[in-house]
Amino acid sequence: MQCPLIRCCMSSKFLFLGVGYLGLVLGVLSAVGPKRSMKLYQWIMERFNWRVVPIDESREVRTTRILGVCLTLLSLAMIGIVFLRF
């Protein structure tokens, strides 16, 4: 017999909402504070013994901000589709 709690938590709606909200948080943080997002990425890569240094920091900040806005919009679309479809 399967536990109803596991079946509820593992449903596709909750999975897509979890991914959508995680993307929304990361997108907003990258759009608002791109330098902080870049530092987080560098910190994560240092854990794998990789050193990551931007070549052109102003361009990297601009690109991170643009990609953060794109991730935010895609996450909002994903959350909206989940609420409209399921």
pLDDT digits (tens, 9 = 90+) for 18-51: 999 999 999 999 999 999 999 999 999 999 999 9
Question: Is residue 49 in a domain?
Answer: yes
Question: Is residue 71 in a domain?
Answer: yes
Question: Considering just the CA atoms, what is the radius of gyration of the chain in Å?
Answer: 17
Instruction: Write the burial class of residue 60 (CB in 10 Å: 0-12 exposed, 13-18 middle, 19+ buried).
Output: middle
Specify the number of domains making up the chain.
1
Residue 31 belongs to domain spanning: 26-85
Question: Is residue 1 in a domain?
Answer: no
Question: Is residue 15 in a domain?
Answer: no
pTM, 2 dp: 0.78
Question: Is residue 17 in a domain?
Answer: no
CA-closest candidate to residue 72, choices 35, 33, 36, 23 = 23
**DSSP codes, 58-73:** HHHHHHHHHHHHHHHH
Report whether pLDDT(6) > 60.
no
